[in-house]
Structure 1
């Protein structure tokens, strides 16, 4: 059974996600730290990262389950719909890096 990541590990993962991953709104890049979504995403992804199970399909499935309120809360969109492909690739790179780091 995989060990659960500690709070400092999740905080480090959240910080890296917040710096590298962004949503695209009208060609503006809003980084997840500024949108206050980086910690939630890190908490959701940390068990998979710890287990070394980082793949695009699994990550996309988690992104689909995270609702993001837009328009003052009048509408919700899945986080997956707001990430451009480059941002998803950045996220996968961060997750793979942490997976290697946590495996040591």
Structure 2
């Protein structure tokens, strides 16, 4: 039962991240769901929620560790470099909400 609950929470978290957080590329907003990164981001950040340790510094460290391939894989950039500051704030807010509600 707990596994289903965890799976449902992870899916809900991924969905909210995917709909709310985007990468800004040449003034285009590429939402994480469209870039197929929302599930990966949720999976990497979920342990912060379960350990009750969501804070901006921890979230930024995780975002720094996730690389995004660009140019057909010729180059990689940390996800944090592609997210506008407002999206980083939004992401922390989403995680804090899930932490409160779980």
* TM value normalised by structure 2: 0.93
In structure 2, distance between residues paired with 1:75 and 1:46: 27
Q: Which structure 2 residues correspond to residues 1-104 of structure 1 after superposition, within 5 A?
A: 6-102=6-102
Separation in 2, partners of 1:33, 1:88: 16
Structure 1 unaligned blocks of 5 or more: none
Q: Distance in 1 between matches of 2:15 and 2:55?
A: 20
Deviation at 1:54, TM superposition (A): 1.1
1 CA distance for matches of 2:52 and 2:95? 9
**What is the rounded CA distance, in whole Å, between the counterparts of 1:11 and 1:33 in structure 2?**
12
How many residue pairs match? The answer is: 100
- Segments of 5+ residues of structure 2 without an aligned counterpart are none
Deviant stretches of 4+, over 6 Å: none
